[in-house]
Structure 1
Amino acid sequence: MQNISKLLETLPVISQSRLVASGFGIWVVWKGDLHGVVDNTLQEFGALCVAREGEQALWYCNTVEVFRAIARLQVWARVNPMPVFCQLVPLTFLAGYNLEFSVSLSVELDRQRVAPPNDFEVVVHPGLKERIQSVAGLSTEPAGSMDGLANVKWLRLVADQGLDYESMLRWYFIIKPLGRMSDKESIVGWRDFSTDIIELLQRLGLKYISDVKEGALFLPLDNFRLLKSFCTEIVNLIRCNKEASDKKYWPVVMAAVPQGDLHFTADLPRKVGLDWNRLTPDYPHVRFMDGFLLSPWFRMNEARYGAGPVSLDSWCTLSLRDAEGSRGYGTMQVPLPNALVASDGGGECFYCGLKNHEASQCPSRKIVTPQPQVWRLLAKADFNDFSDGFASLDTDLSKEDFVSGILKVMESRDDLESLLARAVFEINVPVQLRTLKLVWRCRSKEWDGAFKQLAPQEGDYIWEALDCLEKGDMDNSERFLKDAQIKYPRSYQPQSLWGYWYLERGDTTQAMFHWQEAERMSYTPLQQGCMAFLQARLMEVEGDYKNAINTYKRVNTLAPSWLQPVYRQAVCMVKMGFTGQAMDTLFDLVDRDPNYFNRILVDPELDRGRVQLLSAMWEKWNEAEKSVETTRKQVEDLTDDISRRFDETHPYFEAANEELDRLRGFGQTNNYVAYHQLLQGTDKFRAGLDDEVRREVKRINANIGHLTERVRGIQREAAWFPFPKLLREFNKEFNHCVDKINWIRTQRLQEADNFRKSLRFSDEIEEHIDSLQGRLVTLRIIRDATLFILMLGRSFIWLELIGLGILLVALPSLIYFTQGVEGNIILDTIKDPSQRWEISKGLVIILSILCVAAAAIKSALTFDKRKRELFDQIDKEIRGSTSKRY
């Protein structure tokens, strides 16, 4: 038994429906292998297979063509029997905001079961009886109750065997080139590219009509298979011509229009009811139902041209899916709110570019000052939430008037919905009145940082005129403006405000004149650039894109650092349909300022080229995602590297970890700007880390050199210590310092472990050297005292020996030469044999005392000189061995 509930379980759950449509469902159950004619026939008649599981499938169709398809199968099965059961029931089709689709069945139908069929059988829900009878040749008859099916009065389909029930599903495919066929560039470009298209049509055997005046080609496509084939061929032709350097290419807009009551005549493009100037170039436009039928081979992208609800008759664009195994391909999924891109039939608002209100009613006039922080806040938002934020914004704006609704949303300022709304009105801030206030007060000549320091408000009447204009009091504003112009006839300020006054009056000619006068009267390049920018913007909203681009280029020469004129040039090219040519400019802006990536995502004025832009931006996004995935790991590696290199007490440790935490936060935000900040910040951090390591290594090497000199000094001081056995602890600490110095000198300090050890060893060495120098004071005292005693002893011995020698010679000589002298008490005493020994001992004692005194004086006078001589000698002896150790 096949259960329909198993099919319904395979369908996605759609929480918010972008599209709801009633239609017809076909529950198909078969036994064995399903004959290919079933799928082919249902598809050719416009049915969409929404679910398939095992030996059953569920199809959906929004037209009565499905009845012809089933009748055709029934007629065919009488000649070619096949075991297939078909049930026709009412079915509701649902599509989400990402164009995923599902269906909804009534409660009585979603639990049906049926046994495998033995023959071709069709049952019809009684609610479809009248719709079936509206098709020529079809009728119904009672079928009675059936086991496993819902308890309703089922009918059988009765088909007239004499009819062939051919499908009425046919299309006209129209191709129109961009540009005016009166321009030489457009004529040459389209002529070369149309040659390739005509060759394709001839190869496929398709008849076509060429409108020379409009430059259009259009052809009939009589079945679904031909529609799929031709869409594939034309998209591939455009892709090949774009990528090949030797091929000719010119942008075109294309649409597959249901034939209906339209006739294949030369005026067909003008009768289909499409605004060709708003179609996205290079992508076929089809109805939503046709897009869902083609979705297995193409990607669908919504194209909205009205404020009404989306239906299966709304328009979408197709982009070819890449084959399995080919290079990656995708698109950014950020559908803009219908309220922001829909048109009420009027022109673009000068202030914001939306088409659903007049300039005098623009919500941007209620915003007091520029808010550049919007882009910084938007960079912190998750890209995946953009779609939900816009969907919520669309829901809120659908409940009330647009202007009051959007102002209420922006005033909340606490959610993504409000942030996205403010970002939309921040895109064109240079042309809004809040910027004019700043330009009047600015004295800078350049746009970079121009509004950081402003002069106070100066001038009579002009500020009152501006205030009245913002409030919509046009009469008083005019009165103040006239007074200001009389008082300041050579000032650009009244002229610039006159331009806005006439703009809101609807007189764009006078607005252009006054802005031209304001530019002529301006004093600085900044003021001239601003006034020229207003002129270019006015040309843009009036559709004069070529002159607008040229004027934006002139603004760029006046303010080379200002990116906004460059961005507006790209927007104008997109509005003209030349999206491919605008991409290089837009992506160059993204490289210079990544916030332009988010600007492109939320800009409603890029809606014409949105499909192509989002597809191209996906490549940039995908590349950034891959780089970020690697960079996230690098940030973790850098965190480990910092922990391995630096101790927590090191001043760089805390600052480095704060920066790494900030980078880690960027990596957790799915936003291109955050990705760019992560990639750029990681490179900058790595460069800073390398610089810090180099500085530390240089400091370590310099410190080690200084410590080496201190160790050498300690060695010199301790070398003459006379009691080496007492230096066991001193030598142990000294050798520890020498070993650590040698280790630091021989290691590659750029490695993390060696780097951290060297920092720690440097501190240890310094501590040990301080300890050694403290011990060295005692050693120096003992050494110097010992050296002095040795020098004193040596001098004393030499003086004593000399003195004793002199005494030994002098005393006998004195006795001998004074034998004849009598009466001298001293001589008599010396000559007395009994007193001679006592006299000799006294003389020796006196001599020793004198020698000690003389030796002490001599040693004291020559101690420093002699010590230096001895140390210099020992330095020469140990210098060789010392150099080998360090």
Structure 2
Amino acid sequence: MPRLSQLVDQLPQMAHPRLAAPGIGVWLVWEGQLSTIVGQIFNDFGGFLQAEEDHQSLWFFFGDESIKALGRLSGFARVNRLPLLIQLFPASLLIGYKFERSFTCAEEFLNQEANPPQDLEMLVHPAFEALVRPLPGMNLKPAPPVPGLSATQYGQLTADIALAQDSPLGWYFMLRPLGDPLDKNSAEGWRSIFSELQSLLERIAAKYISNEGYLIFGVDNVRSFRNVVRELLTLEENIRSAESGRKYWPCVMACTLKLGQHLNKDLPRRINLDWADISPDYPHMSFRSALYLGPGFRVNDVRRTSSTPSIDDWCSISLVEEDGEPDIQDEVPFKPPANLLAGSLAPCFYCGLASHEPMDCPSKTLQEADPGVWDRLGLIDMAKLEEAGMGINQLIASEGPGALRGLLDAQDERETIVRGIFEIGYFNQLRCVDRIWRSTGKELPGGLDTLNAPTDGVYLWDALNLAKTGDHENFEQEITANLAAYGRGFQPRSVQGFVAMEQADWSRAGYFWQEAGRSAYTPLQRGWLYFLEARGFEVQGDYFAAAGLYRQARSECPRWLEPGYRLGVCLVKQGFTDRGMNEIADLLRLEPNIFNRVLIDPELERGRIHILSALKTPWSEAKAARDEKLDAVKCLPDYLKSWFREDHPFLQEGIRHAEELGGMCAISNYVCFICVVRQYEALQLDLRKAVEQATKALGKTLDSLHEELKAIHHEAAWFPFGKLLREFNKDYNSCAAKLNWMRTASMQVAANFRKSQDYVEEIESTITLLKARLVTLRIVRDSTLFVLLLGKSFMWLELVGMVLSLIAVPGIIFLSQKFGQAWIGDMLSSQKWQVQKGLIIIVSIVAMGLASVKTALTFEKKRAELFKEGEAREAKAAGGKGKGAAKSAPAKGSSKALPPSKGEAKGGKKK
């Protein structure tokens, strides 16, 4: 059996709806196949289908349109069998923060169940008797109880078919071009749009009037209403496109329910709409009218007069695809919190919100500037920002605008959004005054970084504190008492301007800031005072005067972005969103944080739809650039490790930076997109610099290692026992091969660079080992050379001594006989061999002694001469071989090639 709760359960559940609109719930129960005429009639009379399944459906109507729809349906049932039960009961339509719809009613109705009747039965709740009574031809009579329905005494609705029931719905459209109608560009642009509109009005056969720049016409049913809204949006989109070749001019559009009004020239003044504050190019209407449009349209918030929403609040309409997918006007996925922007006051001078007076602005509780809020905002995903905006909406809806002060201490995304809104107006807030007074710089914004100490100058701190607390009476006394001493400075007049502004005395505020500007002596001070005066005109709505002063402020401080940004905001407030976005786009190229600033700026609400659409282009470009780097960023840690060893300082810092980039890649935010691309490129540049520096250091290291190996080769080459140097030669040749490879390998290849770092460590350790072994080799080599030199000297001395001894014995014998000493001769003759042996022993001892002394004295010199002769022969041999050889390619390393060691004992070749 059909049950009403089965339909309600299909709808989304809303614990905290944006608004609830009371009306009439219509429950249909039927048997077999329901005629499509039923749905057509309900749609034409403004019904909203909530849910439908086999043999039952649920509709919602705002008022007596439902009674008239049943009157039309009863006429159809007179000639067509219609087994249908229709029940009307009190219900409410729920609308969520994303304009999703739901339905609620009393529990007694949810528990109802009913079987389909044999004929048309229309049961009306007694609460709607007052709606039926005034309608001609419509009557209620007591209805018999229906099993399964609530116990209420329903009335049976009857209708006189002789009296036709027509849909009461109808709308008036009003269009007006922006700017001066006498302006040439405005006239040409409006003429192009008006000719297209005339063709549309002729197609739908609508009557229209043109008066005082307004074009006013009406439509009489829901279907025509939908078609006209779609035609207007499509026409505007076609004219704005660059391919159209037609003149574009912004135009504001509004439509309102007829509700018994007649087509006349006073309609624009009768509706509760500020024409100077609505966004151009998009139709504005009540939420009630927007709901009649159905699928294919998107409802956009506009600033409301209060934070308590109602079904008659104003909204704007844009197109979406029929399946509800992306907008034709593709936009950035973020909307500022509507309740935060709500308010009936003029925009606050300090923050731009319309919910409070400047004297009560929460920004006055803030102390110093917080430029880091933009970095924090840039690291928040758009989905989280959207969620935080909904949280702000709910909090302000429950607690009112006073919740703003509490949000400043929320320590979450909500606090970041609210603090960012207050940070936008930093330069026109009282907390900026003391920094301007103390600044020793010449130009904004850099001049605020160089400040005098608070005690270094004569400042009116007491007067400034009184202004911050809103104590205007004591402020006037304090400032009057000090004007005689400080009257010639710009400080008193500047703070007097703020107080006059809070008192809504704009003429005095402008006078004080002009007087302060005449006393200012730096471009920083003059530019800031021009900025304050321009802000005053902007808040008053004189955007032309404000724009001129913002340009003067920008000419005083060309590097200061604030005047250019406010100039763009003024153009958007005037309705010229495209021109305003051109100004802001120039700043966006210089400062990516401008993107998020535009998203949350409460004073850009008039052009919000155009702005979100315009921001989609830089958003898409930045996202595409980020996406190109995604794979590279993911592989960045491994890529860095392929260049450097684990203990390299650049690697540790680079991996940390790469991990930060990886985290930023997961955040959907324009600032993150830009930061990922820029920081990735910066990291690549740092990597190249680090590699270049390491390559230079490596070259010096290779030169040092080459010299050390060359010295080892030089020393070891003279070792006389080459076969004993197998292990030594193996280590040496390994080092020489690695050095020669590093000399020819490109250090711009990660694998080569990384391998070279390992090779350097291996070579250094091997050289240390070779040096230790070389000590032993040098001892053996020098000992062998010393023995050889000693032996050579001994042999020569021994030979000379033996010759002399052989000559000496006969000579002594001969001389002794000649000089009469025959006994000596006889004695030597008889023992000449014994004497000869003794002489040989003596000669050998003396020769060995002399040879040792001579070798010890000449060893170093002889060794150096031998090495020098060997090097000369090698150089001569190498020069002879290289005369006919081609020149080799330039070395990529700094060390020369080292020859392999063959263990030749050069020292053994020359005795």
Calculate the TM-score normalised by the size of structure 2: 0.87
Please identify, of 356-365 and 598-607, the stretch whose mean Cα deviation from structure 2 is larger.
Answer: 356-365
Aligned equivalents of 2:627, 2:27: Cα separation in 1: 45
- Note the alpha carbon deviations across 1:109-146, whole angstroms, 9 max, x for none: 32444557776554444544443344322223445344
Give the aligned partner of residue 342 of structure 2: 341
Cα distance between partner residues in 2 of 1:533 and 1:95: 42
The equivalent residue for 1:177 is 177
Distance 1:323 1:784 in 2: 98
Does residue 1:601 correspond to 2:602, yes or no? no
Name the structure 1 match of 2:364.
365
Change (3 A) 1:576 1:196: same
Moved more, 216-225 or 385-394: 385-394
Partner of residue 821, structure 1: 818
Q: Deviations over 1:722-743 (max 9, x none)?
A: 2233323323332333444455
Instruction: Return closer, same or farther for 1:851/1:240 CA change in 2, 3 Å cut-off.
Output: farther
Is the 8 Å Cα contact of residues 339 and 398 (structure 1) preserved in structure 2?
Answer: no
- Alpha-carbon shift at residue 48 of structure 1 (Å): 1.7
Whether the 8 Å CA contact 2:334–2:382 is kept in 1: the answer is no
Q: How do 1:448-463 and structure 2 match up within 5 A?
A: 448-455=445-452, 456-457=454-455, 462-463=460-461
Moved more, 360-369 or 591-600: 360-369
Q: How far is the alpha carbon of 1:552 from its aligned partner?
A: 0.4
Which whole-Å CA distance do the structure 1 matches of 2:823 and 2:199 have between them? 153
Partner Cα separation in structure 1 for residue 84 and residue 688 of structure 2: 73
Instruction: Say yes or no: does 1:558 pair with 2:559.
Output: no
Identify if the C-alpha distance between structure 1 residues 27 and 643 changes in structure 2 by more than 3 Å, giving closer, same or farther: farther
**Aligned-partner Cα distance in 1 for 2:596–2:55:** 47
Aligned partner of 1:73 in structure 2 is 73
Native 8 Å contact 1:462 1:493 kept in 2: yes
Q: Give the letter aligned to residue 779 of structure 2.
A: I
Change in CA separation of 1:318 and 1:845 when aligned onto 2, cut-off 3 Å: same
Equivalent of 1:838 in 834, 851, 863: 834
Amino acid at match of 1:24: I
1:423 aligns with 2:420: yes
Q: Deviations over 1:777-804 (max 9, x none)?
A: 1101111221232233344445555666
Could you say what secondary structure the match of 1:451 adopts?
helix
Aligned to 1:12, the other structure's residue is in SS state coil
Deviation track 1:676-722 (CA, whole Å, cap 9, x = no partner) reads: 43443333223323332343344334433432332233222212222
Quote the offset at 1:646 in angstroms: 3.6
Partner of 2:131: 131
Partners of 1:786 and 1:295 lie apart in 2 by 108
C-alpha separation in 1, matches of 2:122 and 2:749: 79
Structure 1 gaps, min length 5: none
Match of 1:648 in 2: 646
Q: Is the 8 A contact 1:49 1:58 kept in 2?
A: yes
CA distance in 2, matches of 1:84, 1:699: 92
- Which amino acid in the other structure matches residue 654 of structure 1? Q
Amino acid at match of 1:431: N
Give the aligned partner of residue 40 of structure 2: 40
Q: Partner residue of 1:529? A: 527
- Tell me the SS of whatever aligns to 1:537: helix
Is the contact between residue 298 and residue 320 of structure 1 (CA under 8 Å) also seen in structure 2?
Answer: yes
Q: Superposition pairs for residues 440-839 of structure 1, below 5 Å?
A: 440-455=437-452, 456-457=454-455, 462-618=460-616, 620-621=618-619, 624=622, 631=629, 633-667=631-665, 669=667, 671-742=669-740, 744-745=742-743, 749-750=747-748, 752-797=750-795, 800=798, 821=818, 823-824=820-821, 828=825, 832=829, 834-839=830-835
For residues 42-87 of structure 1, what are the alpha-carbon distances to aligned partners after superposition, in whole Å with 9 as ceiling and x for unaligned?
2221112223445643222212112222332332244344665544
- The 1-side partners of 2:797 and 2:684 are apart by 75
Aligned partners of 2:755 and 2:509: how far apart in 1?
Answer: 73
Query: Is 2:257 aligned against 1:258?
Result: yes
Q: CA deviation at 1:307?
A: 0.8
Report if the CA contact (8 A) 2:307-2:397 is conserved.
no
Counterpart of 1:785, as a letter, is S
Distance 1:104 1:806, change over 3 A: same
CA distance in 1, matches of 2:520, 2:772: 77
Secondary structure of 1:342's match? coil
- Give 1:100's aligned residue: 100
Per the TM alignment, residue 188 of structure 1 is displaced from its structure 2 partner at its CA by 3.7
Taking the aligned partners of 1:699 and 1:569, their CA distance within structure 2 comes to 53
RMSD of aligned residue pairs (Cα, Å): 3.5
Compared with structure 1, are the counterparts of its residues 629 and 67 closer, same or farther at alpha carbon in structure 2 (3 Å cutoff)? farther
| Paired amino acid for 2:9 | E
SS at match of 1:139: strand
Q: Which moved more, 1:457-466 or 1:677-686?
A: 457-466
Q: Indicate the residue corresponding to 2:24 in structure 1.
A: 24
User: Is residue 15 from structure 1 mapped to residue 15 from structure 2 by the alignment?
Assistant: yes
Q: CA 1:639/1:736 → structure 2, altered by over 3 Å: closer, same or farther? A: same
**Separation (CA, whole Å) in 2 of partners of 1:636 and 1:194:** 55
Of the three residues 201, 220, 236, the one matched with 1:238 is 236
SS at match of 1:710: helix
1:732 aligned partner, one-letter code: K
Deviates more, 1:478-487 or 1:816-825: 816-825
Distance 2:303 2:144 in 1: 47
C-alpha distance in 1 between matches for 2:773 and 2:693: 33
Aligned to 1:50: 50
Residues 153-193 of structure 1 deviation map (CA, whole Å, 9 limit, x = unaligned) = 45443221112212121111111111132444433433344
AA in 1 matched with 2:333? M
The answer to whether the 8 A contact 2:817-2:825 is kept is no
* Contact in 1 for aligned 2:23/2:91 (Cα 8 Å): yes
Aligned residue for 2:254, secondary structure, equals strand
Compute the displacement of 1:746 (Å): 5.9
The secondary structure found in structure 2 opposite 1:304 is coil
Point out the more displaced range, 569-578 or 159-168: 159-168
- The match for 2:890 is none
Q: What CA distance in whole angstroms lies between the structure 2 residues aligned with 1:375 and 1:582?
A: 22
Answer yes or no: is the 8 Å Cα contact 1:307–1:339 preserved in 2. no
Letter in structure 2 aligned against 1:313: D
How many residues in Structure 1 have an aligned counterpart in Structure 2?
878
| 2:126–2:154 Cα contact (<8 Å) kept | yes
Counterpart CA distance in 2 for 1:486 and 1:261 is 67
Q: Determine the structure 1 residue equivalent to 2:354.
A: 355
2:285 maps to which residue?
A: 286
**Offset of residue 418 of structure 1:** 4.3
Please state how far the C-alpha of 1:247 moved relative to its aligned partner. Answer: 1.7
Q: 1:429 Cα shift?
A: 2.1
State the partner residue of 2:223: 225
> 1:648 & 1:143 partners in 2: Cα distance?
88
Distance 1:798 1:146 in 2: 147
Deviations 1:601-639 (A, max 9, x none): 332211212232234445545555565566565433212
* Whole-angstrom distance in 1 between the partners of 2:4 and 2:753: 70
**8 A Cα contact 2:736 2:899, kept in partner:** no
Change over 3 Å in CA distance of 1:615–1:837 after alignment to 2: same
Distance 1:133 1:815, change over 3 A: same
Is residue 437–residue 459 contact of structure 2 (8 Å, CA) maintained in 1?
A: no
TM-fit CA distance, 1:495: 2.6
Secondary structure (helix, strand or coil) at the match of 2:635 reads: helix
1:207 aligns to 2:207 (yes or no): yes
Distance in 2 between the 1:788 and 1:339 partners? 100
Structure 1 residue 489: Cα displacement:
4.2
CA contact under 8 A between 1:351 and 1:428: conserved in structure 2? yes
